[in-house]
Every structure is written in C-alpha cells, then in structure tokens.
Structure 1
Amino acid sequence: MKAIAVLSGGLDCCVAASVYARDYDIHAITFNYGQKAFNQELKASRAICEKMGFTHSVIDLPWLAEISDSTLNTSEDIPEVEINDLDNLEKSLKTADSVWVPARNTVFTAIAASYAESIGAEIIIVGWDKEEAATFPDNSKEFLESFNELFKVGSPIDIEIKAPAIDLDKDEIVKLGAEVNAPMELSYSCYKGFEKHCGVCESCMRRKRGFKKAGLEDLTHYEK
C-alpha cells in the first residue's frame, strides 16, 4: 500500500508519518514557500526520510511566497511568547494571524492529492492536531472531514487524509511518537530557521512544553 506524507520536518508530521510507516510505502513531500525555516526544515525532512526509508520530494511554490505577508516568509519579526501565553487564546490568535500563510494547508493538501492520484496512494498523512486547531482552522477536525468529503466527490480514486494527531495536544503527540518510535530528535519546529531552535517562538514553546508535560526527554537544542 502507498501513502503520501506532507512532511515539513516538524514534530507533528514526523510522528504522523511514523504511525503509518510499517503498513505503507510512504512518499514524503516537503514544500518550499519562501519560509525562513526552509533550509532547516529540508534538513530535518531529509534526515527523517533517510531514517524511516521514505521516498522524498521537494516542491517549490514561489508564487505562495510572493503573495504571503506572513512573518514566516517576510522580513518582519516572528513573535516571541512566554509559556503562560500558550493558553491565552487572545494572544495566541494574534501570533497565529502573524504567521498565517494564505490557504497553506489547502494548497499543500490539494497538491498531495495530485501526487496520491499519480502513484495510486490510498492515504495522505498530515500532522494536523487539536492544540494548534484552536488558532489555525486548517488544523481542525472540521477541515479534515470537509477535505475528505471533497475527495469523495472530486477524485476518481479512493483517497483519505489521515491525521492521527487530530484529537491530540502536543504532549499526547510526543507520547504517541515514543510509542511508534518516531525519530522526533531529528524533527525541526522553529519558525525562525536558526540552526538551533530559538526556544522563544510559539512553535518552539509548544514543543518544549509538550515534552515536559509528557515527561519524556527533549533532545532538542534550543538557543534559549
């Protein structure tokens, strides 16, 4: 059986792909949309794919970089947060708005569907999760279910998006990763794109807290 995995190199998608690694021949795709962290995301994605035996492709989306005013791919500073800000919905929504890339997951998933049809893959694996769905609607269960309904209408083959973390918070994702032997130590979550995780952007802070709450060793190297 074949699968397409949308792999940014991050913690969530690393764990998600690892859940299906035993049962599927996985072709991972990584997107370059001009994000500051692309080089580190690519390094992480390649390392994960080499470790797990996945086929890997990179897809350049220069047009998405051109139309996006997200702090992820402009010269604007990426917000830094405190640990207590993570559960403050008002502050988290402001951060989410700052890093939002127009229709990113919609675009990525549509392209993944093209790849799935081309190789006869049965599933598309994504790292969407409950914790981030609170501020990113394209991580939500409703978004997942809607896209799967779309595939039933719009694809000539049976394709289903699989999001094993859709009901999980970050600490639960870390625990799941440990259960499936996901190479989480190879993943990269930082928005800023430093060689080491910055440790202060929201993505880094959620990663830090996830490992701490899970009670598992965090092998990530942080600047702060």
Structure 2
Amino acid sequence: MPETIVVIYSGGMDSFTLLHRARAQGLAIHALSFDYGQRHRRELDCARSVCGELDIPHQVLDIRSLSSVMAGSALTGNTPVPEGHYAEDSMKSTVVPNRNMILLSLATGYAVTVDAAAVWYGAHGGDHAIYPDCRPEFVKRMDAVCRVANYQPVRIEAPYINSDKTAILAEGLAMGLDYSQTWTCYNGRERACGRCGSCQERLGAFANHGRPDPLPYEETD
C-alpha cells in the first residue's frame, strides 16, 4: 500500500510541482488548500481545477474567521503589495503573522483524520530571507512537535527547503508540467502584475531556463 500524505496545495507553482512530485512517487495524496482572505484568491481556483483533473481528493478550508489574528499583511489587507525582489526589506509587509504554523497545525489534524503519515509543504530556499516560517529551523521544530502532538506521529516535510525557484521549475519542466495551471502573483487581478516579488522570482526562474512563462502579464515598463 502506498504511503498517504497531505500536501498543502496553494495553487502556486511550488506546491503545484510538489503535488506532482508526490504523485510521481506513487504516494496517496490528500490536497488541502486554505482560504485565509488572501487577495490572490485565484490560486485557489487553480488548485481546484488541477485536483479535479487529476482526481486527487481536495479540500479548501475557509479560515477567514481568523483574519483578526493574522492581520497586518499586504496579502490580506488594503496595504498595496510592494514591488521588487524578495531580498528587499519592503517585502516583509507580505508576511502573514504565524501563517505556516497555523496551516501546518490544521494540516496535521487533517493528516491524523485521514491516517496520513506526513504533511508536505512548498517552503523553499528563496523564501528564507523574508519568511521565518519557511526556514529549515522552523521546519525542523514543527516536525518535532507534530511527531508528538497526537497518538499518531505526523512528519512535517518541505522537500524543496534547500532548492530555489529555478531548481523547482527544472524539476517541473522535466515532468512536462503545464505552469499555465498555476497562479503566482500576489495581486488577484486578471493578469499577473510582473512587478511583485512573487512575479519577479517566477519570471526569473523561467528566464534562467530560457523558457517563456505561459501566464499572461500586465504590460510593464
């Protein structure tokens, strides 16, 4: 019998690649997405579509009622999304307070419910500069806690924790993945903005592979 895991699936390109990695390994997957009031809610539509196409069990958990304790981020409030690369200090405004600890805790509970051995999420090396909850020390400590938090130990794994966006994309391209099925932009408009840190990192990864990004972008100067 294949091992069962829960994949936290945002609908972005990292979790999209992660989902297919788990599928390629023959794991039994339960995909879990979260609606926490993010302005880039289009990623949830992508997640629903992909899981429907692949016939992967998928739940979208509405946690917008927690907005008052996850406030202050440009991703959930009215503050404009900053432009520029992740390394720039302005990108700290995109940190959602305690997001991954909350999401991983909920995903661990779901893992126990569906008898899954592990929770996978798409934290990667490019996130380390800005997001504390995507760093190796955080993953290590969450893994230790979730192994003892229930009668059934659940592992917390971030397979891309030492990879950057270019390396993740390389894996996906090798699998023949269609990245038009993902959404990355922190803005939720009709087209990706091309200016926010998330867009710039994505565009940089495609440029590093000499490939065009299949997503439509707003015209930029």
TM-score where L is the length of structure 2: 0.91
Output the aligned Cα RMSD: 1.5
- In the other structure, the counterpart of 1:64 is 66
Could you tell me how far 1:52 is from its partner in structure 2?
2.8
Structure 2 counterpart of 1:129? 124
Which residue among 45, 48, 59 is the counterpart of 1:46?
48
Checking the alignment, whether the CA contact within 8 Å between 1:28 and 1:56 is kept in structure 2 is yes
* 1:203 alignment partner in structure 2: 198
Partner of 1:79: 82
Tell me if 1:2 matches 2:4.
yes
1:162 to 157, 161, 182: 157
Higher relative contact order by CA 8 Å / sep ≥ 6: 1 or 2?
1
How far apart, in 1, do the equivalents of 2:34 and 2:19 lie? Answer: 16
Q: Residue type of the partner of 2:64?
A: P
1:114 deviates by 0.5
Q: Which residue of 2 aligns with 1:178?
A: 173
Gaps of 5+ in 2: none
Match of 2:140 in 1: 145
What percent identity do the matched residue pairs reach?
29
Deviation at 1:46, TM superposition (A): 1.1
Residue 30 of structure 1 corresponds to which residue in structure 2?
A: 33
Q: Partner residue of 1:109?
A: 104
How far apart, CA to CA, are the structure 1 residues paired with 2:11 and 2:50? 7
1:79 maps to a residue whose letter is P
CA–CA distance in structure 2, aligned partners of residues 180 and 142 of structure 1: 30
Partner Cα distance (1:21, 1:42) in 2: 19
- 1:20 pairs with 2:22: yes
- In 1, the alpha carbon distance for the partners of 2:151 and 2:179 equals 35
TM-score, length-scaled by structure 1: 0.90
Secondary structure of 1:5 counterpart: strand
Q: Deviations over 1:12-60 (max 9, x none)?
A: 111111111131221111111111111x111111122123321111111
**How big is the shift at 1:180?**
3.1
Residues 122 and 182 of structure 1: CA distance in aligned 2, closer, same or farther (over 3 Å): farther
SS in structure 1 at match of 2:23: coil
SS of equivalent residue, structure 2 residue 183: coil
Per the TM alignment, residue 80 of structure 1 is displaced from its structure 2 partner at its CA by 1.4
The letter of the residue matching 1:63 is S
**Superposition deviation, residue 179 in structure 1:** 2.3
Quick check: 20-29 or 112-121, which moved more? Answer: 20-29
Residue of structure 1 aligned with 2:90, choices 77, 88, 94: 94
The alignment covers a number of residue pairs equal to: 215
Residue deviations 1:174-219, cap 9 Å, x none? 0011223444220101111112211111101111001111233321
Alpha carbons 1:31, 1:59 under 8 Å: kept? yes
